[in-house]
Amino acid sequence: MRLLALQFLVAWPALPRAARYVIEHWQEWDGEAFEIYGPAAERLSGEHPLAATLLLRAMVAFALSMGRATRYRYAVQHLRSCEQLAAAIDDWQGIDGHEGFLARLREAYGTKWSFWLLLEE
């Protein structure tokens, strides 16, 4: 249901509402539906970088937590986008900034060597 709501708000377009929706439910995005998260993050990135970052982070976390090595290259791209978007975020609304998120990823998934090697390229 959340995915349909996100998809509707982004397509409408009601980007401020979509951004609020993403932020309000930031811990509930699982990152699996990359075909919805990716375009939504792209649309939100200009005016709503925190919401875009949260969707990108969900896709990164999903790829790592599920061991989806085929998605690691995309996850690295998403993480790099998060780093760029972080410069435009003034208010993290109590959510970890980029360095905090990266530290949590390293702690939880430090053994996913292929991912970290791709990130260092």
- At 99-121, the pLDDT tens digits run 999 999 999 999 999 999 999 98
User: What pLDDT sits at residue 98?
Assistant: 98
pLDDT tens-digit series, residues 31-75: 999 999 999 999 999 999 999 999 999 999 999 999 999 999 999
* Mean pLDDT, range 80-97, rounded to an integer: 98
* pLDDT band of 1, cuts 50, 70, 90: confident
Helix (H, G, I), strand (E, B) or coil at 10: helix
Structure tokens at 73: 């290259």
Sign of the alpha-carbon dihedral angle for 113, 115, 116, 120: positive
- Domain carrying residue 66: 2-120
Helix (H, G, I), strand (E, B) or coil at 89: coil
**Domain count of the fold of the chain:** 1
